[in-house]
């Protein structure tokens, strides 16, 4: 199958391409960008007039809810959401039920995800058995089964000795460790950023020091063990500074931020909107602005959806009882574009944060349109608007604080290894 994507504007951050050009695909791989390769005859043509053609998005955190939470989402529903969102590779955290702590579970997940229209799935294996923070998992076996990194999702390891040993063991094999920095004691019972809004609404607060204290612990252990560290969902200005300072001293550390945190802050809780209950919590305006600037400068390495489908029953409750999380796969691209437009950032820089940069963190070859790379491509119309609604969302999770909001940027089609995974041209 040979595909010719015509008349589009190609943005391929890894290769510094940002111009009108055609893209040529053969046998599921990128053949070239620009001039028609000699003897190329397309079997199919995609007219990308008025559209941006970029590498498929690489999402560092998408919960597929399998195994264990099929009432919230299934692989089928969430893969349809990924394709509709232009996401062609995704990492899924280990907080399934059972957790991803056994090679068999990972093999099963990889096997289930093997359909051509499904995004590439990169499981993050559990760092400790059942995420309990007590016993190490068989990381080497899990890696053979397909895990690309090891982490704890949102569950902290309380015992710092176990955490240090887990890092040492991971470092033995060169695996990276992904951790979310939140001290569970300072965050105890907390449901919102500790500040003016939580004080006014009477919600129990999670202070910024819950993040920075956990960060200090994790960063010290990373220095000690030399492990490759990735910090998930940084939420505060102070946190960004600490990570930058640690990096300056030579610690091998990257970090990401969730798309919601770039656009929302604690004020968006409004009248106790349960959709604004997120983990980590939405913080102050100052923190949000620091996250936007940090991602632009590269202090924060990648932007992810932190896709967390939650069923209605777990969200139609008072704020403090609501399950944290928001659906995000289909909003990642429009929220990236919104951030770029609002901060006047070149589109190529913004798209790098959701394509090539996260691919490097994952250690995969995706996120580029380099000749020979897998033909994972997203074609989107940057000017087309999209109103977020329950009906429009393909994800089984309808939980998003952006319900009813109009966003710019619609995916026209998504290719995964040259296979048309989503065709929204006439939607």
Partner 1 sequence: MNRNPQLNAHGELQHLITLEGLSREILQGILDTAEPFAEVAEREVKKVPLLRGKSVFNLFFENSTRTRTTFEIAAKRLSADVINLNINTSSASKGESLLDTVDNLAAMQADMFVVRHASSGAPYLIAQHLAATGRSHIHVVNAGDGRHAHPTQGLLDMYTIRHYKKDFTRLTVAVVGDVLHSRVARSQIHALRTLGVPEIRVIAPRTLLPTGVADMGVRVFQDMKEGLKGVDVVMMLRLQNERMQGALLPSPQEYFKYYGLTPDKLRLAKPDAIVMHPGPMNRGIEIDSAVADGSHSVILPQVTFGIAVRMAVMSMLAGG
194 binds partner 1 (CB under 8 A): yes
207 binds partner 1 (CB under 8 A): yes
Q: Which residue is listed with tokens 């074609």?
A: 379
Q: Is the peptide bond before 46 cis (omega within 30 degrees of 0)?
A: no
318 binds partner 1 (CB under 8 A): yes
**Shortest Å distance, C-beta 398 to partner 1:** 14
97 binds partner 1 (CB under 8 A): no
List 39, 202, 250, 426, residue binding partner 1 (CB under 8 A): 202
62 forms beta bridges with: 307
**Shortest Å distance, C-beta 18 to partner 1:** 38
For residues 333 and 409, the answer to whether their CB atoms sit within 8 Å is yes
List 224, 321, 342, 406, residue binding partner 1 (CB under 8 A): 321
Q: Which is nearer to partner 1, 196 or 224 (CB)?
A: 196
Is 59 labeled as catalytic in the residue annotation? no
Give the residue among 363, 244, 219 at the shortest CA–CA distance from 295. Answer: 244
317 binds partner 1 (CB under 8 A): yes
**Shortest Å distance, C-beta 272 to partner 1:** 3
List 123, 195, 281, 309, residue binding partner 1 (CB under 8 A): 195
Beta-strand relationship, 205-206 and 228-232 = unpaired
Q: Which is nearer to partner 1, 173 or 185 (CB)?
A: 185
DSSP state of 110: H
69 binds partner 1 (CB under 8 A): no
**Shortest Å distance, C-beta 382 to partner 1:** 28
For the chain, give the number of residues. Answer: 427
Give the residue among 181, 180, 182, 175 at the shortest CA–CA distance from 227. Answer: 175
For residues 291 and 234, the answer to whether their CB atoms sit within 8 Å is yes
Q: Measured between alpha carbons, how far is 111 from 418 in angstroms, rounded to an integer? A: 20
**Shortest Å distance, C-beta 391 to partner 1:** 16
For residues 26 and 419, the answer to whether their CB atoms sit within 8 Å is no
406 forms beta bridges with: 387
Write the CB contacts of 161 (distance below 8 Å, at least 6 apart in sequence).
none
Applying the rule CB under 8 A, the residues between 214 and 243 that interact with partner 1 are: none
**Shortest Å distance, C-beta 6 to partner 1:** 43
250 burial via Cβ count (<10 Å: 0-12, 13-18, 19+): exposed
What is the pattern of x (binds partner 1, CB under 8 A) and - over residues 135-174? ----------------------------------------
Q: Which is nearer to partner 1, 103 or 207 (CB)?
A: 207
Q: Determine which one of 306, 357, 376, 381 is catalytic.
A: 306
197 binds partner 1 (CB under 8 A): yes
Applying the rule CB under 8 A, the residues between 365 and 404 that interact with partner 1 are: 404
For residues 256 and 231, the answer to whether their CB atoms sit within 8 Å is yes
Q: Measured between alpha carbons, how far is 156 from 163 in angstroms, rounded to an integer? A: 9
Which residues here bind partner 1, judged by CB under 8 A?
194-205, 207, 270-274, 313, 316-321, 404
Residues forming the active site: 306
């Amino acid at each position: 199958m040979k595909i010719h994507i015509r008349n589009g504007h190609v943005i391929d951050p890894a290769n510094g391409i940002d111009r009108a050009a055609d893209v040529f695909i053969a046998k599921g791989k990128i053949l070239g960008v620009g001039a028609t390769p000699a003897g190329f005859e397309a079997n199919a043509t995609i007219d990308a007039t008025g559209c941006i053609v970029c590498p498929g998005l690489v999402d560092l955190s998408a919960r597929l809810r399998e195994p264990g939470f099929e009432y919230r989402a299934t692989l089928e529903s969430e893969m349809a959401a990924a394709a509709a969102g232009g996401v062609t590779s995704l990492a899924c955290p280990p907080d399934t039920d059972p957790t991803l702590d056994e090679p068999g579970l990972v093999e099963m997940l990889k096997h289930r995800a093997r359909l051509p229209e499904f995004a590439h799935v990169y499981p993050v294996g559990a760092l400790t058995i059942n995420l309990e923070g007590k016993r190490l998992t068989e990381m080497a076996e899990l890696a053979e089964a397909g895990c690309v990194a090891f982490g704890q999702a949102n569950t902290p390891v309380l015992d710092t000795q176990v955490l240090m040993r887990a890092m040492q063991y991971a470092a033995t094999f060169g695996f990276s460790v992904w951790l979310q920095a939140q001290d569970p004691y300072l965050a105890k019972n907390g449901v919102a950023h500790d500040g003016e809004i939580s004080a006014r609404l009477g919600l129990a607060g999670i202070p910024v020091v819950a993040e920075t204290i956990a960060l200090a612990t994790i960063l010290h252990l990373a220095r000690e063990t030399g492990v490759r560290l990735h910090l998930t969902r940084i939420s505060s200005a102070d946190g960004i500074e600490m990570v930058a300072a640690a990096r300056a001293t030579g610690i091998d550390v990257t970090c990401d931020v969730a798309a919601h945190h770039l656009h929302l802050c604690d004020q968006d809780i409004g009248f106790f909107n349960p959709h604004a209950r997120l983990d980590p919590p939405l913080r102050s305006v100052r923190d949000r602005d620091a996250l936007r600037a940090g991602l632009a400068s590269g202090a924060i390495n990648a932007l992810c959806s932190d896709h967390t489908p939650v069923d209605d029953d777990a969200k139609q409750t008072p704020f403090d009882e609501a399950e944290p999380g928001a659906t995000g796969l289909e909003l990642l691209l429009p929220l990236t574009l919104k951030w770029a437009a609002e901060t006047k950032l070149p589109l190529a820089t913004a798209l790098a944060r959701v394509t090539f940069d996260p691919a490097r963190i994952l250690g995969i070859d995706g996120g580029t349109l380099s000749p020979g790379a897998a033909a994972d491509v997203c074609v989107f119309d940057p000017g087309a608007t999209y109103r977020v609604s329950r009906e429009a969302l393909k994800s089984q999770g309808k939980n998003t604080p952006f319900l009813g909001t109009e966003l710019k940027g619609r995916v026209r089609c998504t290719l995964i290894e040259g296979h048309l995974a989503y065709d929204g041209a006439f939607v």
